[in-house]
Structure 1
């Protein structure tokens, strides 16, 4: 955003979550939710430091986030989200690499009830790593009942629900946001994520700010994570003041 001051080191990093969009084994740079045109992350740019080459290398991007004090990460498996095929080897490598760090949020693209072998894999991952939180993203889930299904397999405090919009409109055709607000309240989910996909990689937090206010009105006491368009300290402050507990950041550092 024009006029925003660069974020000084350590000013908000304890409340930032570094985003890794994982596609075909590469860390890619998301813009506007148009996943057909995502390109590998080129560089990591921290205030007061020389740009560090990433070239799509996942571990380099993780190291970049850690170097500025961002310990929590959000990993979106775009292969799983788009086509249903999880990048299991890469995901496990990331989980093990970050096992002694902050929270690791995983969006694998849950859609419908899964076969037993898939449940076994994700249960093993969660049971072995207490810092892993599995995301149920509403853009993929075909029914609210999938949340109940997850809760029979995974601890409630290791599940988060992502409420997904684009240009202010609810993304799912099978469910409504009111359905999910009710499900979150009734199930006792402690963490929700609000995303307007059109704000991903943008230079404005306006949609993100509007969504923050909307979600906070419905779920005032739930831990709320959001992101999209954050370009400086002023943007971060406005979102925290509107009720965000943590912010997802990507383009602020990785381009």
Structure 2
């Protein structure tokens, strides 16, 4: 199981995402990191574990209220050894192609409609798809959920009402995706609380998970990340 830390950016700072209610997200102030500065948050995560992949959601871009393009570019330059998955909402291929090489665009279903999803083909599978759900409802273009020809190899199953909820991941939905599409790699997002959740996900066929709250609250610890990632703890 690979843990991928999540950073949600809003109005220039890192915020605590909770159940998709973006208008109420507040700047991060946690046991792990008292600062909401993105560079300090990344350093705090790296103090927990030597993560090689991070997920950044530009909430301003996703909600059409500006963007963090310059700040994200600074991050990519400052940490060239890390791969950043960047969700900026609706992204034209040309715009995403201009980012530095240590990034991979995340295309969220909530940002696409049936009339715009044909543009996804331009990425030639060099992206990560996020299938977004609010409660039982699929968000965005229905065709993205029903037509796997649009899907790349790696697909996030994002259950927004579980984000920051401490309710656990949507194991049933994730298990069903793994069963139906065994040739794809699904990534869990939303509600992961502890090592046990990661173990259950791994048994269901999920081998990557997006995590924020459990890292900030230290309910997933350094040695547990090492253990579930299958790496030996150095003596």
Task: Output the TM-score relative to the length of structure 1.
Answer: 0.77
Give the whole-Å Cα distance in 2 for the aligned partners of 1:99 and 1:163: 28
Q: Does 1:23 align with 2:3?
A: no
Does structure 2 retain, via aligned residues, the 8 Å contact 1:24–1:79? yes
Does structure 2 retain, via aligned residues, the 8 Å contact 1:192–1:223? yes
- Unaligned 5+ runs, structure 1: 1-11, 46-51
Deviation of the 1:202 alpha carbon: 1.1
> Structure 1 residues 78 and 234 mapped into 2: Cα distance closer, same or farther (>3 Å)?
same
Deviation of the 1:182 alpha carbon: 4.7
What's the secondary structure of 1:17's corresponding residue? strand
Give the whole-Å Cα distance in 2 for the aligned partners of 1:39 and 1:86: 18
Does structure 1 retain, via aligned residues, the 8 Å contact 2:187–2:207? yes
Does structure 2 retain, via aligned residues, the 8 Å contact 1:107–1:134? yes
Deviation of the 1:156 alpha carbon: 2.2
Give the whole-Å Cα distance in 1 for the aligned partners of 2:182 and 2:164: 27
Counterpart in 2 of 1:9? Answer: none
> Structure 1 residues 144 and 136 mapped into 2: Cα distance closer, same or farther (>3 Å)?
farther
Does structure 1 retain, via aligned residues, the 8 Å contact 2:3–2:208? yes
Aligned residues: 216
What's the secondary structure of 2:56's corresponding residue? strand
Pairing 1:129-148 to 2, within 5 Å after superposition: 129=101, 131-143=102-114, 145-146=116-117, 148=118
> Structure 1 residues 219 and 32 mapped into 2: Cα distance closer, same or farther (>3 Å)?
same
Deviation of the 1:145 alpha carbon: 4.7
Task: Output the TM-score relative to the length of structure 2.
Answer: 0.84
Deviations 1:73-97, CA, capped at 9 Å, x for gaps = 1100000111153211011112222
Does structure 1 retain, via aligned residues, the 8 Å contact 2:120–2:150? no
Counterpart in 2 of 1:225? Answer: 187
